[in-house]
């Protein structure tokens, strides 16, 4: 099954006899500002208007564990995640479509987690809510409880040591902005730079100006130019395992399997004993 779905395809599926469960994962990374501006409120955005029937899922509370030594968005407790998915109406035998405000990062995190825990049919709305031309609703649904029980392990997962090894033996892609990879700026984590051997591959280059994924062949060419030859393992990390999930999704669209380092730079950089590379070159 294709990992993404167009807005027109979703509208058709919702009007059909077996509509998918739709999850709204609107979320934005919020940095501290001098003027004390309020952080983005995904639930408020959802309540102001969402795809009819969609259920809101909180990324920080339900798609991640508590921030700490394992990073800013470590894996959630399977029981917490499973309960949230069942409350949203998710079952193993029903398709799921996830979307966010348009960047696709948060939706991809939900896509990756559901796939990693064994759900067989999850797709991301290509272009997010911005691509949806149908009506919006302010009605908060009360779905019947689903039956999904997470069984982790269906997708490849890296820890810090595994990421370091893959950077030496395969291809480890850094999905953050280039200036963070090079160590020129670091607005969030303790130190700037990248895992030695990792290749810079900003997630933003996987999509068009309108926010939709580039064609599969174009993505395949991009990843081939970065070193994904089909003969070596591929892994991805970012700041905290959110935008990297979007990169894993783009690789899936291109037909390239890849592992996710969930702890990512927010875990790596907290350990002063781990090496840090700076500059434009992997080493």
Reported as a single tens digit per residue, the pLDDT across 154-198 is 999 999 999 999 999 999 999 999 999 999 999 999 999 999 999
Average pLDDT on 102-130 reads 96
Candidates 106, 219, 238, 259; catalytic one: 238
Say what the pLDDT of residue 164 is.
98
What is the pLDDT at residue 29? 79
Q: What is the 3-state secondary structure (H, E, C) of the chain?
A: CCCEECHHHHHHHHCCCCCCEEEECCCCCCCCCCCCCCCCCHHHHHHHCECCCCEECCHHHHCCCCCECCECCCCCCHHHHHHHHHHCCCCCCCCEEEECCCCCHHHHHHHHHHHHCCCCCEEEECCHHHHCCCCCECCCCCCCCCCCCCCCCCCCEECHHHHHHHHHHCEEEECCCHHHHCCCCCCCCCCCCECCCCEECCHHHHECCCCCECCHHHHHHHHHHHCCCCCCCEEEECCCCCHHHHHHHHHHHCCCCCEEECCHHHHHCCCCCCCCECCCCCC
Mean pLDDT of all residues in 97-108: 94
CATH architecture of 157-268: 3-Layer(aba) Sandwich (3.40)
Chain segment 10-35, per-residue pLDDT in tens: 999 999 999 999 999 999 876 544 45
Confidence (pLDDT) at 26: 97
Protein fold of 4-131: Oxidized Rhodanese; domain 1 (3.40.250)
- What is the average pLDDT across 205-227? 96
- Residue 238 known to be catalytic: yes
Positions of CATH 3.40.250.10 in the chain:
4-131, 157-268
Q: Which pLDDT band, with edges at 50, 70 and 90, does 60 fall under? A: very high
pLDDT tops 90 at residue 283: no
Q: What number is the average pLDDT over the span 92-107?
A: 95
């Amino acid at each position: 099954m294709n990992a993404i779905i167009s807005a027109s395809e979703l509208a058709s599926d919702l009007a059909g006899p077996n509509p998918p469960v739709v999850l709204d994962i609107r979320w934005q990374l919020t940095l501290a500002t001098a003027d004390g501006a309020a952080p983005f409120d995904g639930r408020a955005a959802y309540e102001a208007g969402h795809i009819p029937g969609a259920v809101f899922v909180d990324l920080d509370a339900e798609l991640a564990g508590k921030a700490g030594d394992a990073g800013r968005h470590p894996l959630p407790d399977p029981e917490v995640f499973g309960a949230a998915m069942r409350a949203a109406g998710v079952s193993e035998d029903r398709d799921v479509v996830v979307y966010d405000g348009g960047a696709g990062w948060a939706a991809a995190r939900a896509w990756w987690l559901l796939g990693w825990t064994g759900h067989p049919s999850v797709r991301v709305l290509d272009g997010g809510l911005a691509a949806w031309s149908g009506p919006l609703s302010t009605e908060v649904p009360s779905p019947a409880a689903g039956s999904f029980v997470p069984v982790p392990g269906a997708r490849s997962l890296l820890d810090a040591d595994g990421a370091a090894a893959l950077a030496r033996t395969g291809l480890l892609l850094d999905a953050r902005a280039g200036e963070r990879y090079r160590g020129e700026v670091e607005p969030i984590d303790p130190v700037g730079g990248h895992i030695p051997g990792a290749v810079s591959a900003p997630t933003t280059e996987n999509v068009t100006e309108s926010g939709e994924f580039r064609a599969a062949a174009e993505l395949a060419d991009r990843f081939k130019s970065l070193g994904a030859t089909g003969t070596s393992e591929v892994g991805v990390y970012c700041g905290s395992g959110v935008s990297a999930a979007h990169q894993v999704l783009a690789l899936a669209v291109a037909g390239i399997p890849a592992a996710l380092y969930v702890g990512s730079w927010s875990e790596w950089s907290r350990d002063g004993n781990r090496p840090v590379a700076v500059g434009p070159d992997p080493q």
